[in-house]
Structure formats: structure tokens, C-alpha cells
Amino acid sequence: MPKSFDTKRKPSKPKPYLMPIEWGGTTYFSKIAGGAKVERLNCDNLKPPYLILCNHGSFFDFPLVVKAIFPHRCSWVISIEEFIGREWLMRGVGGIYKRKFTADMTVVRHILNALTRQKVCCTIYPEARFSLAGINEQIDGALGKLAKKAKVPVCVFIAKGNFIRSPQWNKHPYRKVPIEGTFKQIVTREEVLKLSADEIQKRIEREFVYDDFAYIRDRKIAVKCDQRAQNIHKILYQCPACGEEFTTDSKGTKIWCSHCGAIWEMDEYCRLHRTNGPDVFTHVPDWYRWERENVRREVEEGRYFFEDTARLERLVNGQIGFTEIGNVTLRHDTNGFTMHGDFGSGQTFDFNRTVSSMRSVHIEYDFKGRGDAIDLCTLDDTYFVFPLTARNVLTKLHFATEELHILELKKKQEEREREKAEAEAVTAE
């Protein structure tokens, strides 16, 4: 049996001999990005350790953070699949293993160890995934508690232009887009001792807002790439003209619906224009949010259900990477994500992650050329699940996971309030 990842092993303090590589890499990436600019705000007398919360537009986030905190060093919370084939490097820079959307207290202890014992900064991507539409997604609701426990300052780093340069649904070719970053201390060392965890959390959520499409539009930054809308149907899967799902497609600078024939053109400022009818959405995030609202209604009305046959792969360790297990039936509904496979000779596979245990789900468009994938994890295993017949469903699964979780929390809160009211009524009698 191959040895799995040792997630209990304490992460290393960032190795000094890797510092020139980090800083040299940052200079190189800044150069090919056209000279990324970083603005530091409220950072007078800021000294390690401190917590860094960063948005996640593309790989360029990493060198941008290094540039922002120079000459300080930091550990990084990194998704476990990024350690494949380079575990020595990930550990060398202070990488902390994380399986996506699992409540793992070991990770929390590792973060606290970096901040309070190793006395180095720690960078967290609180959305726990790359941005899908260049806007902020839901973030971890316990960041205020983490900062309060560590008793360290909190900084937020927001990169602009980074997503448009290399969106997840079409990473290449890189677009020539100027990148800017704002690094801001939002909770000082003195404030973290005085403020409550809820107050710190609210301050984080207030500062953690961005919109890359608005950045391009408002700055009048022309994106000359003739593939700027290529694959955008991966996130804009529902036609706003006829309402049909999974009927959109895209190529070059156009997106269209194969059901009703509606066509949109994306201009150089990344605005959408209907070419054969009235405009509905000109701003990509508005279309994206409209889809989410539709999924929310579907969930609230009890109509949401997904099922497909899928190829299942398991992440073994940093040397072997993924191994294929076989085909399974994948379902997603009010029971959460469920998988079942019967591989013959008495070999079966059963898996369930409940709605309450997953605030979101990590998805990958055409993961390493192997197809669209859903990342489903337990505390001990990481599975990548590739739907085999359903077309372009990942973004809707992403929405549905979050909306199911929100509805579940709402129901539990209502149940607690009802029980409290009943108890008070009995006491009053």
C-alpha cells in the first residue's frame, strides 16, 4: 500500500536558501506581466508575524504576495494536489497541506504554529479556490476567530487584472493586462486584542471585495487578445435570452446559444453586446450572479437534483499523484454529494459528503487536459471526479453546493429559534 501524504507533519519554516528563488521569480513574473504594481496601505511599523488574506485570480497571486511583503517571508496554505511532484519545494517554502473544503483542525494548528512559534507570516486564500468570474466568492467565516487566537495583525491583498490576464476557463494565451495589487493592514496588533472575532470577521468581509471585469471596464484597459471570450460559456452556461441551461458555447470573442440563436460579442473592455437582439447583461458578473439566483430558487423550491456517471480518481501521494479507481454514479441533492461504484469481485465504493459539511466545492475546468473535474475530499482522501456525459455542469454544481449549505444553515437556525420560543412559552406557563 503506497504511503499517503503525512498531513500531521509540522510544516517547515520557509528555508533561507529558497529566498533568492522566490524573490528572483517575483522579479521575473512582474517583468513578463508588464511590471505589476503593488500599493501598501496602513503598513507603517508592520512587522512579522501577520496574517495575509489574498484573492485568487491566477498563479500570479503567489509572486505578487512575495513582492508585497518583501523582505518578509511567509508560509502558505496550499491545496494538497499542488504538492504532486514538488513536495520538497512546497515544504521548503513553508507550504501547509489543505484538502479543499474540509474542517481540518490540523491545518489550523499548523497555521497557528507558523504565526506564533515560527514567527513568520502566513498567507491564506480564504475563498479556497480560484475565482471563476473575477469577483469575490464566499470566504471562510472563522477568519476572525483565527486572527483573535493568533493575536497577530490582519492584512488583505487584492490583485486587480490578475484574473483577466489568465481566467480559469481559458488560461492561455496570457492577455496583456496591467496588474495592480493593494496590500492593506486592516487590523493592527493592538486592535486584534481589543476587537471581537465577529468584528474582525466583518472588517475582513468588508475589505475582501473585488471585480476584475469592472477594473478593466472602468480603467478603459483594452484587452486586445482575440480569444478573450474563449470558453467563457464554462461560467455563463445558461442563456439569458431563452433561459435554457447548458446550451451556450463560445469561441474567440463571441458567446452564443445553440437553442435560441442569441449571440453576444465581447468588446476590448470585456463588455458583452447582443448582436442579434436586445442586451440583457453587458457585465459578465451580472450574468454569473443571475445564474446563481436561478439555482437558489431551484434549491429553495426543492427542484434541484444532479446525477451522472463519472470517472473517479484518487490522489495517492506527492510521488504517484492520481490513480484511476473506476466509474461511479455521482449524485448531488439535499443529501450532499454521493458516489457509488461496483467494480466487480466484491469491490465497491461508497462516499458521501453531507450538505452541512461543505460550504462550497472546488471545481477544475479541463483539469490537466483530462476533463472537467469536481474535487471531493475527506480528512484523509482527495478524489477528483470527472462527469462523463453531463455537459458543462461544473459552475452550476458550484452554485448548488453553496446554496444547499446556506439553506441547511437557515433551517437549523430556524429550528433553534423555534425550540427556544417553545421553551420560553413553557416556562411562562
Higher pLDDT, 174 or 399: 399
Per-residue confidence (pLDDT) for residue 136, from 0 to 100: 95
User: Does residue 266 contact residue 254 with C-beta atoms inside 8 Å?
Assistant: yes
**Closest C-alpha to 101, from 374, 354, 357, 322:** 357
Q: Name residue 135's amino acid.
A: I
* Alpha-carbon span 5 to 285, nearest angstrom: 38
Strand partners, 76: 95, 123
Segment 251-257 long-range contacts (CB within 8 Å, at least 24 positions apart): 252/226, 252/227, 253/226, 253/227, 253/228, 253/229, 254/229, 255/229
Average pLDDT over the chain reads 93
* Cell numbers at 286, concatenated: 451580472
Name the residue type at position 247.
Answer: T
What count of Cα atoms within 13 Å lies in the side-chain half-sphere of residue 140? 22
Please report where in the chains the cell 503567489 appears, as a residue: 62
Average pLDDT over residues 414-419: 86
* Nearest 10 degrees: Cα torsion 90, 92, 94, 97: 40
How much is the average pLDDT of 137-146?
94
**Nearest to 123, CA basis, from 158, 79, 59, 77:** 77
Ordered structural domains, the chain, with CATH: 16-219 (3.40.1130.10), 232-300 (no CATH), 306-412 (2.30.29.30)
pLDDT (average), residues 309-336: 95
For the CA atoms of 72, 44, 206, 355, the dihedral, rounded to the nearest 10 degrees, stands at 20
Q: Quick: pLDDT tens for 106-140.
A: 999 999 999 999 999 999 999 988 899 999 999 98
CA distances (Å), origin 98, targets 122, 133, 164, 219: 14, 23, 26, 36
- Neighbour tally for 241: CB within 10 Å: 18
* Nearest by Cα to 295 from 395, 409, 411: 395
pLDDT beyond 80 at 428: no
Which helix (H) or strand (E) segment holds residue 288: the answer is: helix 284-300
pLDDT above 80 (res 227):
yes
> Per residue in 277-290, pLDDT tens?
999 999 999 999 99
- What are the tens digits of pLDDT across the range 22-76? 777 677 666 666 668 899 999 998 999 999 999 998 878 888 899 899 889 899 9
Higher pLDDT, 198 or 19: 198
95-104, 147-156, 231-240: the lowest-pLDDT one: 95-104
DSSP symbols for 63-129: HHHHHHHTT--EEEEEEGGGGTT-HHHHHHTTEEEE-TT---HHHHHHHHHHHHTS--EEEE-TT-S
pLDDT digits (tens, 9 = 90+) for 265-277: 999 999 999 999 9
